[in-house]
Amino acid sequence: MVIRKFIIAGNWKMNMTPTEAEKLVKELKETCNRKDVDVVFCVPAIDLLPVRLLVDGTNIFVGAENMYSEDKGAYTGEISAPMLVDSGISFVILGHSERREYFHETNQDINKKVLKAFEYNITPIMCVGESLAQREEGITLHWIREQVKEGLEGVTKEQVASMVIAYEPIWAIGTGKTATTEQAQEICKAIRDYVAELYDQDTADTLRIQYGGSVNGKNAAELFAQPDIDGGLVGGASLKPEFAEIVNFDA
Ligand code: PGA
């Protein structure tokens, strides 16, 4: 049986000026420094380097919230994989539902970014998830399978085994409405089963799958106790000292 290491990532979104970031990270780096769990602070581009310097010497990783799929060039406003690598950034969130919705990123765009991240040895955290309308229509699984399949086009099984997929039901993000543990486990398992179908069981068993959507200090332990949930992608609660309660759940 494969033992998967838990991974808990904070997604700061468009919050925290460099000054605010410094204050928060100085506190969290003491309380979130856990060796048996991968802890990642995913922060806005302007905070990446200062935060990375602040967590030097701890077990905490720093991740970006997005990146572009080209190495360099005339893409005003974008940041590239080589820029992240040069700044000591080891993870990148790709395909977050807010990127899909507000910036019209498609599965194909996200796939290009996933491939680029692997080219530079950056671990992608690829987000998938359904809207409330899709859930009510009963097409959740169909939708998520499509996101997984198209997002992973051309990705090798070794790469899939090393990456992270975050299941984030859109209706649970920032709403305080967490999916029930049963709902979260059901979809995380379905994603794993589908990866087994696309690749093989070993690959699926090694892949880490997070749940995201209103994770907090109170519900984290129960969610992470589910057999197919290997940690969380945490928005709102990652901006507060409470993030330490999530990170320090009873593994
Ligand atoms: P939330 O956000 O924890 O604030 O619901 C999660 C996310 O969007 O990654």
What are the sequence ranges of the domains in the chain? Answer: 6-247
80 Cα to the center of ligand 1, angstroms: 24
How many angstroms separate the CA atoms of 209 and 193, rounded? 12
Q: What is the band of 67 on the pLDDT scale with cuts at 50, 70, 90?
A: very high
In this model, does residue 95 exceed pLDDT 80?
yes
Name the residue of 125, 173, 214, 239 to mutate for ligand 1: max ligand atoms within 8 A of Cβ: 173
Give nearest CA residue, ligand 1 atom 2: 235
pLDDT of residue 14: 98
Contact present, 144 and 190 (Cβ < 8 Å): yes
104 annotated active-site: no
Rounded Cα gap, residues 96 and 238, in angstroms? 16
Greatest alpha-carbon pair distance for the chain in Å reads 49
Mutate to test the pocket of ligand 1, among 168, 242, 247 (most ligand atoms within 8 A of CB): 168
Looking up tokens 């899709």 gives 134
SS3 10: strand
Count of residues for the chain? Answer: 251
Ligand 1 center from residue 74 Cα (angstroms): 32
Beta strands 208-212; 61-64: pairing state? unpaired
The tokens describing 210, both together, are 């997070």
Assess contact for 209 and 167: CB atoms under 8 A.
Answer: yes
Which one of 65, 98, 105, 168 is the catalytic residue? 168
Residue 1 pLDDT > 80: no
- CA dist 154 → 112, 118, 150, 166, 204 (Å): 9, 11, 9, 19, 16
Mean residue pLDDT across the chain: 97
Orientation of helix 18-31 relative to helix 45-55, angle to 10°:
40
Q: What is the pLDDT of residues 195-224, one digit of tens each?
A: 999 999 999 999 999 999 999 999 999 999
Tell me the three state secondary structure of residue 19.
helix
Ligand 1 pocket, residues with Cβ under 6 angstroms: 11, 168, 173-174, 212-215, 233-237
Q: Which atom of ligand 1 has the smallest separation from the CA of 215? A: 3
Cα of 233 from ligand 1 centre, angstroms: 7
| Helix, strand, coil tally for the chain in percent (to 5) | 45, 15, 40
Is the distance from CB of 177 to CB of 214 less than 8 angstroms? yes
Give 161-181 pLDDT, tens digit per residue.
999 999 999 999 988 788 899
Tell me the mean pLDDT in the region 64-71: 98
Q: How far is CA 72 from CA 43, 103, 116, 173, in A?
A: 21, 20, 12, 32
* Candidate of 7, 16, 211, 215 to mutate for ligand 1, largest count of ligand atoms within 8 Å of Cβ: 215
Mean pLDDT of 122-126: 98
Class of the domain covering 6-247: alpha beta
Say how many C-beta atoms besides its own lie within 10 A of residue 116's C-beta.
21
Nearest CA to ligand 1 atom 3: 235
pLDDT of residue 234: 98
> Given a cut of 90, is residue 57 above it in pLDDT?
yes
CA of 174 to the centre of ligand 1 (A): 5
Catalytic-residue membership of 168: yes
Q: Give the pLDDT confidence score for residue 177 in this predicted structure.
A: 80
